[in-house]
Amino acid sequence: MKIIESLKIKEKEYIEKLDNGMTVIIIPKPNLEKKYIIWGTKFGSIDNRFIVKDSEEVIIPDGVAHFLEHKMFEQPDGTNSLDTLMALGLDANAYTTNDHTAYLFECTENFYEGLDELMNYVQHPYFTQENVEKEKGIISQEIKMYDDEPAWRLYMNAMDCMYEKNPIKIDIAGSVDSIKKITPDILYKCYNTFYNPSNMIMVICGNFEPEKIIEEIKNRLVSTKEEQQIKRIYPEKESKINKKFKEIEMEVSIPLFAIGFRDFIEEYNTEEIVKKHIAIEILLNMIIGESSETYKELYGKGNLISEPDMDYEFSKEYAHILISGRSKEPNLVREKIEETINQYLNNGLDEKHFNRIKKKIYGNYVSEYNSVGDIARMFLADKIKDIDSFDYIEKYNCVTKEYTESVLKNVFKTDNMVMSVVRNKK
């Protein structure tokens, strides 16, 4: 078992790669009552074309990863594992993202009973023509519901602006038409390919002895499956944005906006991407965070309702910044953000403001280690990207003002800037 320690925050992680290829990560928290487990597979909405070993290319309908997540809970005896976990008093759930699917629960009691159920249903899929057809109706309603959700339409239109062919612009749930093509055979094919232990990561956080919990996991694993060699096929990386602007009308009281900056990563280097991520978080807070002059001015004049959401989303296949919020004057917000960026490009970053925000970002990283759920989800999401979460603590001091200014120059470019708006119907 490999042990990694962060001396700065006095935390340890224990990592073991099992004989079947599955990675298990344990972060002990002996002083916390809550326990959290999350089991993820590297199968997300963008993984719709692949080759297994030397077989022919497989192309699956959009939305299969999400559909599979829904179906994993159903058991041959008619029970639902999610209901079983909830009856034990556990807070259980599952989710699908662009690059992974995860199953989880949090509890203070009945952890091992929950572990039995979790490891049983994730390792024993049950798909029939009848239950697949039934699920199509349920997910079709979910897709239609999201189609009527302004915030989701805002996000998807921003993706459409930034990408022409990248599958990240496809709805995670697929479309009503695409899920009609899903069959039990397709689900079993994807399960057997992507739910292979060698493609999965389990993260456990709480009051555990690493060696003992590892043995408990091993005792509940089914017989080892042959490691799958998956070649994922994605469109060729694009060299420019798709379009600058997209606006739609929906029933909203105040217009919604999303301002994006497409980041073009030539070579995915985990050490560099962590440093860049830290620098971008600092820059976003300096440009439009609640302590920035730009935010204070816009908020003071009623042009921003609250601090915008700010995020940097990335993987080996995509990378972009999103600033989203509500404003009666979305174009004014965009102009002020551009103006602030240009001021920083011309005059450099204010050193006192930079240091203050940098400390705030570090404080945010440290505070995440107070919650077993935050820790486990963070370690899984980072590990999917081949990043160790401690790297954000360790690389923090490497992010200087000069380095951050270089990121500002290379990423926050007008040519790479897009805007999505949802306005109220006239």
Q: d(Cα 256, Cα 135) in Å, to the nearest integer? A: 32
397 and 9 Cβ atoms separated by less than 8 Å: no
Any catalytic annotation for residue 69?
Answer: yes
Report the sign of the C-alpha dihedral through residues 385, 390, 392, 398, in that order.
negative
The residues, ordered by sequence, that sit 6+ positions from 90 with a Cβ below 8 Å of its Cβ are 105, 106, 107, 110, 114
How far are the Cα atoms of 101, 110, 202, 224 from residue 377, in angstroms, in the given order?
Answer: 12, 21, 10, 26
| Catalytic one of 11, 69, 74, 117 | 69
How big is the CA angle at 166 (ends 162 and 170), to the nearest 5 degrees?
90
**Could you tell me the two tokens for 166?**
């990248």
166: helix, coil or strand? coil
Count of C-beta atoms within a 10 Å radius of residue 196: 23
What amino acid occupies position 393?
Answer: I
Cα 185 from Cα 399, distance rounded (Å): 49
Q: Which of 112, 92, 111, 113 is nearest to 103 (CA)?
A: 92
Please tell me the distance from the alpha carbon of residue 89 to that of residue 83, in angstroms, as a whole number: 10
Helix (H, G, I), strand (E, B) or coil at 3: strand
Q: How far apart are CA 21 and CA 226, in angstroms?
A: 9
H helices present in 221-350, as ranges: 270-288, 293-300, 330-347
CA–CA dist 411, 402 (Å, integer): 14
Structure-token match 């708006």, residue found: 421
Residue with tokens 């009856």: 87
35: which residues sit within 8 A by CB, 6+ positions away? 106, 107, 108, 111, 204, 205, 206, 207, 208, 372
- Among 69, 64, 131, smallest CA distance to 94 is for 69
| Three-state secondary-structure class, residue 260 | strand
Point out the residues that are catalytic: 69
